[in-house]
Amino acid sequence: MSIDIEWSRGELARFLELTELYRPPDPPGVAIISSSMSNRGEQADIVASAHVVEQILDRVIPNWRADVPSDRNKRVNRWCQHREAAQRADVALQRDAEIRERLGDDAPQLSAATLHPWVWSGARALWQSGHYREAVTAAARKVNAETQNKVGRRDASETALFQSVFSKDTPKPGQPRLRLMDDDGSDTFRSLQRGAAAFAEGCFAGIRNPNSHEDGLPELPEPQALEQLAALSVLARWVDIAKLAT
């Protein structure tokens, strides 16, 4: 589902209005020297608005908590980081398509939030804190766990699990199968099952295992990590839509 730009910009505008900064006048006869500033809105209203705005920010600029400075503004007002992030997000929503067109890159863009829910729910918390390699590992674990849940197995995991569930063999007691199409004995059926098993092995051998077992690896660049999440999303989608054969 694509983001509702008009609604999102409206929520950002309301938050910016509530958190507008001003310096309260000093009491009569008293001079207060302070860098702190107050917000126009009531704190209860700001907190309620922030709950929605944070989710918009997570979609529009997922790394806003790390990319938008926070420490330098704490003495001014607790909402400064949110305000700057909201201003950036509003510009992104309003002008992203224009910027990509003007800069000569109007290619489709992939958002992690549009990947299969198993993948993004597993990766989200670590992804938003900039731990991309750990986020990919967590997503792989989530796909494995959801597959175990679907077939009702705990005795196999990862490569062994997927080789079993996508096997072309008929189901056996304790070894159900996942079918991407009805078993009509065709080459297409055999190709789909073989391809799914091989793809799953590649995901765990080439993505999950190196990310979780190798010490001292540098952090994954965000675009590369997103590609790996996309691969896991393909696998998750296949598992999710496959028919359970027992």
Euclidean distance between CA atoms 168 and 132, whole angstroms: 35
Residue 228 is assigned to a structural domain of this protein: yes
3-state helix, strand, coil in the chain (%, to 5): 60, 5, 35
Residue 183 is assigned to a structural domain of this protein: yes
Euclidean distance between CA atoms 98 and 35, whole angstroms: 38
Judge if 80 and 25 occupy the same domain. yes
**pLDDT band, very low/low/confident/very high, at 71 (cuts 50, 70, 90):** low
Judge if 209 and 120 occupy the same domain. yes
User: Phi and psi at residue 186, in whole multiples of 5°?
Assistant: -85, 165
Which range among 45-59, 69-83, 171-185 shows the weakest confidence by mean pLDDT?
Answer: 69-83
80: containing domain: 5-102
The last residue of a domain, from among 102, 129, 150: 102
241 contact partners, CB below 8 Å, separation of at least 6: 180
Residue 95 is assigned to a structural domain of this protein: yes
- Strand 38-39 to 243-245 pairing: unpaired
Judge if 148 and 97 occupy the same domain. no
- Give pLDDT tens digits for 142-167: 999 999 999 999 999 999 999 999 99
pLDDT at position 245: 95
Judge if 123 and 26 occupy the same domain. no
Judge if 230 and 116 occupy the same domain. yes
Judge if 171 and 95 occupy the same domain. no
pLDDT at position 244: 96
Residue 171 is assigned to a structural domain of this protein: yes
Judge if 142 and 39 occupy the same domain. no
Residue 107 is assigned to a structural domain of this protein: no
- Give pLDDT tens digits for 194-229: 999 999 999 999 999 888 765 667 888 989 999 999
The last residue of a domain, from among 63, 80, 102: 102
Residue 238 is assigned to a structural domain of this protein: yes
User: Phi and psi at residue 185, in whole multiples of 5°?
Assistant: 75, 10
User: Phi and psi at residue 179, in whole multiples of 5°?
Assistant: -110, 125
Helix axes 187-203, 158-165, angle to 10 degrees: 170
The last residue of a domain, from among 102, 121, 145: 102
Judge if 36 and 116 occupy the same domain. no
pLDDT at position 35: 56
Amino acid (one-letter) located at 66 = A
- Strand 177-179 to 243-245 pairing: antiparallel
Amino acid (one-letter) located at 235 = L
Judge if 96 and 119 occupy the same domain. no
Judge if 72 and 184 occupy the same domain. no
Structural domain tally of the chain? 2
Judge if 93 and 125 occupy the same domain. no
Residue 91 is assigned to a structural domain of this protein: yes
How many CB atoms are located within 10 Å of the residue 148 CB?
17
Judge if 175 and 220 occupy the same domain. yes
Amino acid (one-letter) located at 132 = Y
Euclidean distance between CA atoms 243 and 150, whole angstroms: 10
